Chains A and B, each alone.
Chain A
Amino acid sequence: MSEKSEKSEKSEQNRLSVFKTYKLYVGGKFPRSESGRVYEVTSSKGEWLANAPQSSRKDARDAVVAARKAFGGWAGKTAYNRGQVLYRVAEMLEGRREQFVREVADAEGLSKSKAAAQVDAAIDRWVWYAGWTDKIAQIAGGANPVAGPYFNLSSPEPTGVVAVVAPQESSFLGLVSVVAPVIATGNTAVVIASEAAPLPALSLGEVLATSDLPGGVVNVLSGRTAEITAPLAAHQDVNALDLCGADEVLAKELEVAAADNLKRVVRPQPVDWSADQGTHRLTAFLETKTVWHPTGSLGASGSAY
């Protein structure tokens, strides 16, 4: 028995380490960057962690095509079904908890317990947004009182393809807090991971790929934030921008580029990711559709019914 355990210990030491190849997540697949480039990702202490793909503008374009293709199907699912799918994502995240704790600890220089708290909070946030999918219509829409024999109903609808610049500092909790609200309401997303700490985002792609989320609903790109966001901000087939992770100068440039086709833009502002997020990010990427429905002439009772 002891001989056996000694043996296994020895083989443990002799094993070659298996390096993980981090790849992009686009259209439900894991491509390398079209440009073939990678860049070194280091821990907060400067130790090499992995090589991440350095996306080009063509990767951004491909991601938009994938997101557009996925939009109709995702937006067309019932809100209830979207909630189930998102809850499934949370289940998968829970199963990969250890991996995310390690990646967050490395990326943000946190102790294991602090990183674990971040990951737990992120999973809880995902569940929280999953619950919102079939409730947002109640708070963002409803019947409007009008002066005429009409039913007047407003209902929120997803904006379309949203380019999300994920927070630079909070590599996982912040990421989840900007991605989940976008897709919860039926939008599809092109996410630009934190430039210095992209690994949790790329791993999130692996989770999404295995959790019933249709390919293309979330697309994750890593690389130089300024390089990838510029073509996305000018892209005519992107409907909205969340500039959360862009610095002041970049955010201004992107907002100017986004004006051309009147994209919805959420400007960067300091956020405490551990606090309650409210519904701001859910409602930021919704369009209101209002219908007037004739009720016919009012009867003697004053009502058409």
Chain B
Amino acid sequence: MPTTAHATASATASAFADATASDSALRRFLHGLPGVDAVGLEARAAALGTRSIKTTAKAYAIDLAISMIDLTTLEGADTPGKVRALGAKAVHPDPSDRTTPRTAAVCVYPDMVATAKEAVAGSGVKVASVATAFPAGRAALDVKLADVRDAVAAGADEIDMVIDRGAFLAGRYLKVYDEIRAVKEASGTARLKVIFETGELSTYDNIRRASWLGMMAGADFIKTSTGKVGVNATPANTLLMLEAVRDFKQQTGVQIGVKPAGGIRTSKDAVKFLVLVNETAGADWLDNHWFRFGASSLLNDLLMQRQKLATGRYSGPDYVTVD
């Protein structure tokens, strides 16, 4: 798997060799992407959000959503104890019901990777680590790469990097591209998620450009946001990124994952995102290898909904673990 991943990454790179040959070529390519119809995009996202998902489909969607969660704690106050508790929750989200699926991963800061790794050992739950001077990304490339290597050395299965939004917004796309390439190389076999911080990119056109830039540079996942700014994952920007991965696969044959993160708190929201995935990228993406939710409080709401489906009565926050 790792070797094929590397092979596809370099194949992708050569497929876009012309576009990435120079800063101006890359700019020409990215600005040549079709503009986004903002009204149409939002209307489409809103329309898909009205689908009614009930009974067995709902049960399926809830279990799928749980299995797609990157259970996240990214606070300055994170302690080893909190990370261990999070790991235990990822392995057994609902201690009162062992049929509950595990979450996909836990997501922590690099210095907590070893602790997290220990907490989920043997369960199949992966450990993702943010890196590259998360969340601002304001550091020298050397520092960012050292950050990544640290996380990988501690055993991270996945690396969540942030792009340099300053360079991106200033139009220095090749700098962003080269950074992603360098981080991808430093990540080794770990899967790389590239965070665009869509809330800071300000236009849908920019989100489409960033998506293509990330995919061309070898991202395994494109991720909306850090969860640290006002606007995080929205249905519209996730839909836009799903369109990008769909088009990229059509063009290159390479499948890229998508991860909306931040602001998704209710089961209803999560199910809406799954509808977007199914209707835009297709059923190929309905798997935690290709779609993730970056969330923490979402899990409790999904568990309460799951209990409601199982027992017929509404559950409450007293019946799920407190984070």
Please report A residues at the B interface, Cβ cutoff 8 Å.
61, 64, 68, 231, 234-238, 257, 260
Q: Is B318 engaged at the interface, CB distance under 8 Å to the other chain?
A: yes
B60 at the interface (CB under 8 A from A): no
> Roughly how many angstroms separate A65 CA and B319 CA in the complex, as a whole number?
14
Q: Confirm or deny: B313 has a beta carbon within 8 angstroms of a beta carbon on chain A.
A: yes
Q: Is the CB of B313 within 8 A of A237?
A: no
Question: What B residues does A257 contact at CB under 8 A?
Answer: 313
A-contacting residues of B (Cβ < 8 Å)? 312-319
Q: Lowest 8 CB-CB distances: which A-B pairs, in order?
A: A237-B316, A234-B313, A235-B314, A236-B316, A236-B315, A61-B314, A236-B319, A231-B314
Tally A-B pairs: CB < 8 A.
Answer: 27
| Residue of A61, A231, A237, A260 touching B317 (CB-CB under 8 A) | A237
Q: How far is the CA of A284 from the CA of B256 in the complex (A)?
A: 59
In whole angstroms, what is the CA distance A162 to B315 when docked? 15
**How long is the Cα–Cα vector from A236 to B303 in the complex, in angstroms?**
13
Tell me the nearest residue of chain B to A257, going by C-beta.
B313
Most buried by A among B314, B317, B319: B314
Interface of A, secondary structure class, is helix
Q: Which residue of A lies closest to B312 (CB)?
A: A234
Interface centre among A68, A236, A238 (most CB of B within 10 A): A236
Neighbouring A residues of B317 by C-beta, 8 Å = 68, 237
Q: Chain B's nearest CB lies how many Å from the CB of A110?
A: 38
Chain B at the A interface: mostly helix, strand, loop or mixed? loop
Contact B312 A237 (CB under 8 A): no
Q: How far is the CA of A68 from the CA of B319 in the complex (A)?
A: 14
Q: How far is the CB of B96 from chain A (nearest CB, A)?
A: 12
Cβ contacts under 8 Å, A260 to chain B: 313
For residue A142, give the distance in angstroms from its CB to the closest CB of chain B: 29
- Give CA–CA (A296, B318) in the complex, Å: 37
Q: A234 and B314: CB pair below 8 A?
A: yes
B310 CB to nearest A CB, Å: 12
Can you name 19 extra interface pairs (CB under 8 A) apart from A64-B316, A234-B313, A237-B318?
Answer: A61-B314, A68-B316, A68-B317, A234-B312, A234-B314, A235-B313, A235-B314, A235-B316, A236-B313, A236-B314, A236-B315, A236-B316, A236-B318, A237-B314, A237-B315, A237-B317, A238-B316, A257-B313, A260-B313
* Chain B residues, Cβ within 8 Å of A234: 312-314
Contacts of A61 in B (CB 8 A): 314
For B316, the chain A residues whose CB sits under 8 A away are 64, 68, 235-238
Query: Measured between C-beta atoms, what is the minimum distance from B47 to chain A in Å?
Result: 18
Question: How far in angstroms is the closest Cβ of chain A from B233?
Answer: 22
Max chain A CB contacts within 10 Å: which of B312, B318, B319? B318
A231: which B residues are within 8 A, CB to CB? 313-314
Bound CA–CA A229/B270 (angstroms):
28
Question: What are 16 A-B pairs with beta-carbon distances under 8 A?
Answer: A64-B316, A68-B316, A68-B317, A234-B312, A234-B313, A234-B314, A235-B313, A235-B314, A235-B316, A236-B316, A236-B319, A237-B314, A237-B315, A238-B316, A257-B313, A260-B313
How far apart sit A265 and B318, CA to CA, in the bound complex (Å)?
20
Q: How far, in angstroms, from A106 to B319 measured CA to CA in the complex?
A: 45
**Once the chains are docked, how many angstroms separate the CA of A231 from the CA of B315?**
11
Provide the bound-state CA to CA distance between A257 and B311, in Å: 12
> Which A residues are in CB contact (< 8 Å) with B319?
236
Q: Within 8 Å CB of B313, what residues of A?
A: 231, 234-236, 257, 260
CA distance A234 to B314 in the complex (A): 7
Q: In the complex, A61→B316 CA distance in Å?
A: 10
A161, closest chain B residue (CB): B316
- Which residues of B are found within 8 Å of A68, using beta-carbon distances? 316-317
- Bound Cα distance A257, B313 (Å): 9
Closest CB in chain A relative to B172 CB, distance in Å: 45
Residue of B with least CB distance to A231: B314
A236 to B319, CA, bound (A): 8
In whole angstroms, what is the CA distance A64 to B315 when docked? 11
Cα-based distance from A237 to B312 in the complex (angstroms):
14
Quote the shortest CB–CB distance from A263 to chain B (angstroms): 12
CA distance A260 to B312 in the complex (A): 12
In whole angstroms, how far apart are the Cα atoms of A238 and B319 in the complex? Answer: 12
Measured between beta carbons, the chain B residues less than 8 angstroms from A238 are 316
B318: chain A residues at CB < 8 Å are 236-237
Q: In the complex, which residue of chain A has the Cβ closest to the Cβ of B319?
A: A236
When distances are taken between beta carbons in the complex, the residues of chain A under 8 Å from B314 are 61, 64, 231, 234-237
